[in-house]
Amino acid sequence: MGDLGWVAYPKNGWEEIGEVDEDYAPIHTYQVCRVMEQNQNNWLHTNWILTEGAQRVFIELKFTLRDCNSLPGGVGTCKETFNMYYYETNGDEEEIEDGEMRDGTGMTEEEDRLMKESRYIKIDTIAADESFTELDLGDRVMKLNTEVRDLGPLTRKGFYLAFQDLGACIALVSVRVFYKRCPFLVKSLAEFPDTIPGSEASQLVEVVGHCVNNSLPLYEPPRMHCSTEGEWLVPIGKCVCQPGFEEINGSCKVCKMGFYRSLLDSLACSKCPPHSVARQTGATSCSCEDGYYKIDSDPPNMACTRPPSAPRNAISNVNETSVFLEWSVPMETGGRKDVRYNILCRRVLPDGRGLEECGPNVRFLPRRVALSNTSVMVADLQSHTNYSFLLEAVNGVSELAKDHAKQYVSLNVTTNQAGIVVRKGHTEKSSIALSWAEPDRPNGIILEYEIKYFEKEQDSSYTIIKSKETEMVVEGLKPSSVYIFQVRARTSAGYGAFSRRFEFQTSPYCEYITATSERTQALIVAVAITLALVLLAVVAGFLLSGRRCGYSKAKQDPEEEKMHFHNGHIKFPGVRTYIDPLTYEDPNQAVHEFAQEIDVSFISIERIIGAGEFGEVCSGPLRLPGKREIQVAIKTLKAGYTEQQRRDFLWEASIMGQFNHPNIIRLEGVVTKSKPVMIITEYMENGSLDTFLKKNDGQFTVIQLVGMLRGIASGMRYLSDMGYVHRDLAARNILVNSNLVCKVSDFGLSRVLEDDPEAAYTTRGGKIPIRWTAPEAIAYRKFTSASDVWSYGIVMWEVMSYGERPYWEMSNQDVIKAIEESYRLPGPMDCPEALYHLMMDCWQRERSNRPKFDEIVCLLDKLIRNPSSLKKLVNSSHRWDLWVCFFCLFTVGEWLDSIKMGRYTELFMEGGYSSLETVAQMTSEDLRRVGVNLAGHQKKIITNIQEMRVHMNSTNSTVNI
């Protein structure tokens, strides 16, 4: 009674009453039941309750509440709820305030109460789940209600509770105030302290655990989470026993002697592995027994090991000055898998003077030390020499085992005769220079060597050549190809064995120009001096004698023509071969095999664009049904033709129809079923190349010119791949379209030559365009793709000199003679040196030395890709045009024409400069006096006069010789 000391206000409100519960045990209650009176406001204050750090507390109330309906009368003021409040403070204010504050402020007790109550915060209105009636009371059945409310977050040290009654009939039987906490816990070798949860309802408080003795956190510190319900949740991380300890029943126990534990993630202490011991408790590793070793990278549970014994069963196999050594794995590997082998090589000095280490010249394949295989090849030993090899096996602990005596197996070997070592010298696209040393102890005097070679992987056919020297150039090879070479020597005792195989590769296609450029340059210089003089003599001779020089006749080979078509060209898979229309008995059949018949109604002739041998060449649209209209060229066969002429005319179509290439004029079809007979080809807006260039002198960039040449070379490559020899390749037979694409035209064998005004009759009766034709074709009608390459060189020259006539006005006979004497056309003005080199290569006398069309295309592509390679122009001292003109043009007028200054001829004559000798003495002053007033023209003429003087001096000295 009165134990709790709770304060009620007003005094006649809540009362402390002793009762008995249903079991007749005495209980304390606070009761109030002023249901009959109006305006009730009865407060019951608890004393100060310490939170003990809890931020959220729970209040469990047990009470009974009277059912208002069961009360007789006065139910109007009866309530069935009461309110619960709280008020937080850091100290027990009740004690302090009760006396002092009120006295100091002069407040009445009533006012003081009201002020205090105003500071309380309402927790909730509490209603009864079950109320009781008078009857219940009589039965002594207590209808006890239990209500729980939580309170938080609390921030002060303690708080008061208060219960407010507004006119109900209540008996407060029990008020239990409590908070929840997560209790101290040991989990995964980590201790988590007793923890008070957070203030929010679903909040988790993270707690870092503390590893128990002799344990360490594994990867990260262990953590747990304390919930508001006082439960430990979400464990993260854990502790493990530190090395040398193991976990037994939640604590860490030390490892016993002879056991170790090295790693955090192994659980229990392990027995020391073989050949190792742990002489103390708590070992984190075991130490090796004497004579056994471990390296850092060995795992802790690996046994201690020792060096291996020596290799076994070593054998040697001598091949000339090479030795192949082979052995078996050692009997004892020392318990390790990383056994490797080292070779010690020593040469036995003559006369037993001891041993000497093999020098760095001896090669070991794959290497000398740390061999993983049980064999090695030792090469480049001296011949007829004794060697001693020591083979040693080592493993990962050999280095550590300093006091372990090394175990070797030794092998004595005597080398034989050294094989011939072939070395590669200068290499070109079709040749390789070889050299070799004479064997050091040949069996007698060497009479000669035999060189055997074949293309790699083609050893079914090989070639053998003989040489008395220790070097030779092997020729006739394919570019970019690998060849195998072997050399053997012959003495009077016979042949020795072939050397081992040596593999060498020829240069690629494109490199030929660099390989030959040195040659060409030397040639230019030498030829410039000597041959110029020879030609001078020849020309002078012709002029003096007035005689035309014939040139040697050769017997004509009737088979030759056929060979041109099928021989001497590289055949690529997938490229069709040209079929000679001659092989058709009926020429009409050939035409219809290769050319489409076009109905004349689809063609309209609009303009005449040229004159061909058989009739006019016209142009106009072709409208084939279902096809786009295109412009075409229409070659007509004039009326009154003979059957032979008709056949010759259509011959061209039979050839052209076989080709399909962007740089070959395309045949659209033929009209043979009506008259006139026509050949329809694609229309080339800019006509023939020679006229086109003359019309546009100096108008194109070098790259544009090279682009044109590239097109022509590409068309010619196609023809040569098809096995077709053109025979009349010249700028006049190239057509140019509006995009500057050049296409090869004028096909038709003998007809072409008959047709070509440039073709001259040779002494053999055939008609040949001398200036464009290779010497072998002129001399004995050897027309091949290589002779087309010669013509291509002339076309290059025509293009680079904008349609200049090759060899100017020299007669055909002079040209033949000059070529015979190795004279070649000079580099055109402003011609890139690289292009002139290519021309000169096309004009190699030996036709096999001329580049192939695919090489030419390849080189031109390279030049186009790298325009700076075209910057260097032909040196003017190598330009012989002036020199040639001096001897082939005799008047001042012709000379002025040749430098495009013909307009001044009359002025020169009037000024008294009527011979080249007088012109050669002229100065700038003289030029002005004559009437050449334009500075540019003065400069051009003076430059040419200076060059003329240089050449005059050189020719004079020749004459003296």
Q: Which amino acids are annotated catalytic?
A: 728
**Does residue 746 interact with ligand AMP by CB under 6 A?**
yes
From CA 360, how far away is CA 189, in angstroms rounded? 64
User: Rounded to an integer, what distance in angstroms lies between the CA atom of residue 73 and that of residue 264?
Assistant: 82
CA distances from 930 to 230, 575, 891, 922, 925 (A): 124, 64, 17, 10, 9
Q: How many residues does the chain have?
A: 961
One-letter amino acid at 335 equals: G
Closest distance of CB 652 from ligand AMP, Å: 8
Cα separation, 718 vs 726, whole angstroms: 11
- The reply on whether position 955 binds ligand AMP by CB under 6 A is no
Piece of the chain touching ligand AMP by CB under 6 A; list 38-46, 190-198, 395-403, 683-691: 683-691
Contact 433, 473 (CB under 8 A): yes
413 touching ligand AMP, by CB under 6 A? no
Q: Does 735 participate in binding ligand AMP (rule CB under 6 A)? A: yes
The two structure tokens encoding residue 934: 């334009």
Smallest gap, in angstroms, from Cβ of residue 762 to ligand AMP? 22
Contact segment (CB under 6 A) with ligand AMP among 298-306, 311-319, 465-473, 610-618 equals 610-618
Distance CA 207, CA 237 (A): 12
- Measured from the CB atom, the residue of 226 and 622 that comes closer to ligand AMP is 622
Kindly tell me which of 618 and 818 has the beta carbon lying closer to ligand AMP. Answer: 618
Distance CA 613, CA 817 (A): 30
Count of residues interacting with ligand AMP (CB under 6 A): 15
Q: How far is the CB of 657 from ligand AMP (least distance, A)?
A: 14
Q: Is 684 in the site for ligand AMP (CB under 6 A)?
A: yes
- Cβ pair 838, 793 in contact under 8 A: yes
Stretch that binds ligand AMP, among 112-120, 439-447, 680-688, 917-925 (CB under 6 A): 680-688
Q: Are 471 and 434 in contact (CB under 8 A)?
A: yes
Contact 11, 123 (CB under 8 A): no
Which range touches ligand AMP (CB under 6 A), out of 94-102, 317-325, 604-612, 701-709? 604-612
Shortest Cβ 488–ligand AMP spacing (Å): 60
**Does residue 900 come out as left (phi exceeding 0), alpha (psi in the -120 to 50 range) or beta?**
left
- Does 786 contact ligand AMP by CB under 6 A? no
Of residues 650 through 669, those in contact with ligand AMP by CB under 6 A are 665
Q: What is the DSSP letter of 583?
A: G
One of 54, 579, 617, 863 touching ligand AMP (CB under 6 A): 617
Instruction: Using alpha carbons, list the distances in angstroms from residue 519 to 474, 513, 515, 849.
Output: 18, 10, 8, 12
Query: Can you tell me whether residue 588 is helix, strand or coil?
Result: helix
Angle ∠(892,897,900) on CA atoms, nearest 5: 130
Q: Which residues partner with 270 through β-bridges? A: 260
Structure-token pair, residue 919: 């012109």
> Which is closer to ligand AMP, CB of 486 or CB of 745?
745
121 forms beta bridges with 86
Q: Minimal distance in Å, beta carbon 633 to ligand AMP?
A: 3
How far apart are the C-alpha atoms of 262 and 571, rounded to whole Å?
75
Identified binder of ligand AMP from the candidate list 160, 449, 602, 683, rule CB under 6 A: 683
Position among 395, 681, 844, 898 found at the interface with ligand AMP (CB under 6 A): 681
Question: What are the structure tokens assigned to 855, written together?
Answer: 């090489």
- Smallest separation, CB 658 to ligand AMP (Å): 17
- CA torsion sign, 375 to 379 to 383 to 385? negative
Nearer to ligand AMP, 746 or 841 (CB): 746
Instruction: Give me the least distance between CB of 663 and ligand AMP, in Å please.
Output: 13
What amino acid is encoded at 54 in this protein?
A
CB of 688 to ligand AMP, least distance (A): 4
* Cβ partners under 8 Å of residue 38, min gap 6: 77, 167
Amino acid identity, residue 663? N
Cα 806 to the center of its chain, rounded Å: 48
- Examine residue 258 and tell whether it contacts ligand AMP (CB under 6 A): no
Alpha-carbon gap, residue 961 to 954, rounded angstroms: 11
Using CA atoms, how far apart are residues 648 and 476, in angstroms rounded to an integer?
Answer: 39
| Residue closer to ligand AMP, measured from CB, 338 or 682 | 682
Q: Within positions 98 to 127, which residues make up the interface with ligand AMP, using CB under 6 A? A: none
Return d(Cα 39, Cα 167) in angstroms, integer: 7
Name residue 427's amino acid.
T
Q: Is 612 in the site for ligand AMP (CB under 6 A)?
A: yes
Beta bridge partners of 171: 31, 64
> Considering beta carbons, is residue 393 or 680 the nearer one to ligand AMP?
680
Only one of the segments 134-142, 449-457, 575-583, 609-617 lies at the binding site for ligand AMP (rule: CB under 6 A); that segment is 609-617
Nearest residue (beta carbon) to ligand AMP: 610
| Nearer residue to ligand AMP within complex by CB, 682 or 820 | 682
Quick check: 411 and 391 in contact, CB under 8 A?
yes
**Six token digits for residue 129:** 């789940």
> Judged by CB, which is closer to ligand AMP: 474, or 768?
768
Our CB check for ligand AMP shows the closer of 16 and 682 to be: 682
* Shortest CB 475 distance to ligand AMP, Å: 41
Angstrom distance (rounded) from CA 796 to CA 623: 37
Amino acid 934 reads L
Residue the block writes with tokens 């040693």: 392
Question: With binding defined as CB under 6 A, does residue 609 bind ligand AMP?
Answer: yes
Minimum distance of ligand AMP from residue 809's CB (angstroms): 22
**Is there binding between residue 633 and ligand AMP (CB under 6 A)?**
yes
Stretch that binds ligand AMP, among 95-103, 596-604, 675-683, 762-770 (CB under 6 A): 675-683
Report residue 583 as tokens: 């092989």
Query: Applying CB under 6 A, which part among 181-189, 282-290, 682-690, 904-912 lies near ligand AMP?
Result: 682-690
Collapsed DSSP state (helix, strand, coil) of residue 181? coil
Query: Based on CB atoms, which residue is closest to ligand AMP, 376 or 633?
Result: 633
Q: Please choose, out of 114-122, 176-184, 380-388, 676-684, the segment that lies near ligand AMP by the rule CB under 6 A.
A: 676-684
Nearer to ligand AMP among residue 617 and residue 816 (C-beta): 617
741 lies in the site for ligand AMP, by CB under 6 A: no
Minimal distance in Å, beta carbon 691 to ligand AMP? 7
Report the C-alpha gap between 398 and 293 in whole angstroms.
9
| Angstrom distances, CA of residue 173 to CA of 16, 144, 799 | 10, 8, 125
The answer to whether residues 223 and 235 touch, using CB atoms and an 8 Å cutoff, is: yes
Q: How far is the CB of 686 from ligand AMP (least distance, A)?
A: 8
**Least distance between ligand AMP and beta carbon 617 (Å):** 4
Q: Which of 688, 720, 762, 801 binds ligand AMP (CB under 6 A)?
A: 688
C-beta closer to ligand AMP: residue 85 or 683: 683
Contact range with ligand AMP by CB under 6 A, out of 197-205, 479-487, 608-616, 947-955:
608-616
Q: Which is nearer to ligand AMP, 90 or 739 (CB)?
A: 739
Tokens of 466: 């003989």
| Binding of residue 622 to ligand AMP (CB under 6 A) | no
CA distance 60 to 47: 16
Which residue from 273, 687, 707, 766 is in contact with ligand AMP, where contact means CB under 6 A? 687
List residues binding ligand AMP (CB under 6 A).
Answer: 609-610, 612, 617, 633, 665, 681-684, 687-688, 735, 745-746
